[in-house]
Structure 1
Amino acid sequence: MTASALPHAEQRRRVITTPEGLALPLVIASRGARAGALILDVMIILFALITFHIVLIAVAGGLLDTAGASVSNDPTGAAEFLQILLIIGVFLSWYGYFLVQELGPRGATLGKRILGIRIAARGQARLTPEAVIARNLLRDIEVFYPLVFLVVSAVSALAGEDTGPMIWAAVGWFALFLLLPFFNRDGLRAGDIIAGTWVVEAPRVRLAEALSTTQAARGTSATSGARYTFGPAELGIYGIRELQVLERLLRDGQEQALVTVHQTICTKIGWEPGAGDERAFLEAFYAALRAKLEKDMRFGKRKADKFS
């Protein structure tokens, strides 16, 4: 079966290897979902700015009425001050909206969260503030600057002004960046390529059903009789995402993978990795980690992954 014959969702599936040696599957977000998230975000920002503008005018008008003045009586000072506040509000809303939310633990704006997607670092790298800032600054160059340039050129042409090749330059600029995600398999835009990021599907994170294993419940090895117990510091190295990956690993039961992960976890928590009892150790670690995460979530503490 060729790649073109595969379902579209299957073509977007990727597998990355974590530093612990775990194979972590993910799905690249569709181009439609990304476009829809951007439209939602822009609508949210515009609604917030319009509301801010109305409130600003109302508050300023009330203050001037109290002082016995009005904007019409002092058109320069009052109007310029309101314009400055509005410009500051636009700047903070536009850049702050994307940066603050994507720098957060969810790595997604409201629009992305509504459509179930988020940004992530490609490969084994961690998502850094520099990458988030870079991809957001490039968005203006990719979309909004050429779009404004195109609209201004079109309006000038309709008004009878000679724009020369300006309008075609604007069309080419806009089309170049707009079509770029269609020419790479991961749907990367220029900002993603430069920042080393991609946008992936992020279904609502929740703890999976517990493994129904007596070993995990007791934390005792049926082979050696050893009882495994872990402290808060040892369990604090991982979060919900790693718990789910560990559960998939235990369900698959691939011995070599169990050995690799057992050695990795032992090294991280300062234990001397033994041999022959890997499954019992991992089941006990899974049960203890799950219990800790569930307890923390009941108290409002949510650890999404090891970086949280």
Structure 2
Amino acid sequence: MARPRKPHPATALRRSFVTPEGVDLKIELSTAGARAGAFMLDLLMMLAILAVATIVIGATAIATESVLLGGLWLIGFFFLRNGWFALFEMGGRGATPGKRIIGLRVVARDGSRLTGGAVIARNAMREIEFFLPMTFFFSTIAESGTDKMISILALIWSGIFLFFPLFNRDRLRVGDLLAGTWVVQRAKVKLGQDIVASLAQSDQPRRTFSDHALSLYGEYELQTLEEVLRLADNDSLVTVAAAIRRKADLPDDGDDYGFLSDYYAALCARLERQMMVGLRRADKYSEASRERAA
């Protein structure tokens, strides 16, 4: 009896992601290593902010002999570690600075727009998964007896949650399970120049598109369209072409591949023009905004 084949590494994390328009985007999930790397980058940035705040508050407390500033530091630390992840992920990019550097973003698993409730739910679990146990651990690490046991249990508790993404095929945290989210690879900055170059060499007449038709999508959808054109699967071509035509109110000329190729080239050119003046549009849900430092 033949052994079942293991999925190829390039497709093991590929998933169907059906949008409300019925288009299957076939996204690529983040690896556990990439997620850990993004989390560590965010932690380093938060620690840098915390270190500066500690110096400022400490110097102010000594100068004013105020004991209330210690409470202010604790409150600020709580809001920093919770607000950092939630506020950034509620933005149009759906990613913290660490995720942006690694090239990741958070999306809803049902294909709809990521909601504030989902973001809050997935990040509220991080307090239980990591920060609260680590607080117990570091506060009792130098103790003995019962306190020592508490620190060990806290470390084990954190370890269970920390390695949870390694034991499920979608690399989900517990927070992702509750919130219905995925962490996926973000659209790449390089926008398929080889496809655009091949279209430019074609002798076929090129279609033109209105500003309205090109304003419907962003970089995330452009990457998806590039993947559809590379795979050249007939069912995907028909589905995606129909969705774009319906949304842009364009006629069906019977040439789905040609239509998508021309639309890709025009959308690519539009997004790159925006990038040249410092504007980026992450996806169809967000508006073009000025690039900020990660």
Q: TM-score, normalised by structure 2?
A: 0.79
Partners of 1:188 and 1:112 lie apart in 2 by 15
1:294 to 261, 272, 276: 272
3-state SS of paired residue (1:125): coil
Deviations 1:255-303 (A, max 9, x none): 44333333222211223x3352434433333333223222222222212
2:121 to 131, 134, 137: 134
1:177 to 142, 153, 161: 161
Partners of 1:216 and 1:293 lie apart in 2 by 22
Partners of 1:125 and 1:187 lie apart in 2 by 20
State the shift of 1:155 in Å. 4.3
- Aligned position for 2:198: 212
2:256 to 278, 285, 293: 278
User: Is contact 2:137–2:155 with CA below 8 Å preserved after alignment?
Assistant: yes
State the shift of 1:239 in Å. 1.6
For 1:89-104, what aligned pairs fall within 5 Å after superposition?
89-104=76-91
Cα–Cα, structure 1 residues 136 and 170, in superposed 2: closer, same or farther, change >3 Å? same
- Aligned position for 1:25: 26
Q: Percent identity?
A: 42
- The aligned amino acid for 2:178 is I
Partners of 1:8 and 1:229 lie apart in 2 by 38
Q: Who wins on radius of gyration, i.e. which is larger?
A: 1
- The answer to whether 1:188 aligns with 2:188 is no
Tell me how large the CA RMSD over aligned residues is.
Answer: 3.2
User: Is contact 1:192–1:198 with CA below 8 Å preserved after alignment?
Assistant: yes
3-state SS of paired residue (2:272): helix
Partners of 1:116 and 1:291 lie apart in 2 by 22
User: Is contact 1:20–1:261 with CA below 8 Å preserved after alignment?
Assistant: no
User: Is contact 2:19–2:112 with CA below 8 Å preserved after alignment?
Assistant: no
Q: How many residues are paired up? A: 282
User: Is contact 2:23–2:243 with CA below 8 Å preserved after alignment?
Assistant: no
User: Is contact 1:219–1:283 with CA below 8 Å preserved after alignment?
Assistant: no
Partners of 1:283 and 1:216 lie apart in 2 by 11
Deviations 1:58-88 (A, max 9, x none): 4566xxxxxxxx54xxx4xx232x2243234
State the shift of 1:10 in Å. 4.4
Partners of 1:179 and 1:6 lie apart in 2 by 22
User: Is contact 2:125–2:174 with CA below 8 Å preserved after alignment?
Assistant: yes
- Aligned position for 2:291: none
For 1:55-204, what aligned pairs fall within 5 Å after superposition?
55-58=56-59, 70-71=63-64, 75=65, 78-80=66-68, 82-152=69-139, 155-156=142-143, 158=144, 160=145, 162=146, 170=154, 173-202=157-186, 204=188
3-state SS of paired residue (2:67): helix
- The aligned amino acid for 1:97 is W
Q: Structure 1 stretches (4+) deviating beyond 6 angstroms?
A: 215-218
User: Is contact 2:187–2:219 with CA below 8 Å preserved after alignment?
Assistant: no
- The aligned amino acid for 1:236 is S
Cα–Cα, structure 1 residues 207 and 29, in superposed 2: closer, same or farther, change >3 Å? same
For 1:241-252, what aligned pairs fall within 5 Å after superposition?
241-252=220-231
User: Is contact 1:215–1:283 with CA below 8 Å preserved after alignment?
Assistant: no
State the shift of 1:152 in Å. 4.5
Q: TM-score, normalised by structure 1?
A: 0.76
Partners of 2:260 and 2:232 lie apart in 1 by 11
User: Is contact 1:219–1:280 with CA below 8 Å preserved after alignment?
Assistant: no
Q: Which sections of structure 1, spanning at least 5 residues, go unmatched?
A: 62-69, 221-227
Partners of 1:276 and 1:215 lie apart in 2 by 22
State the shift of 1:143 in Å. 1.5
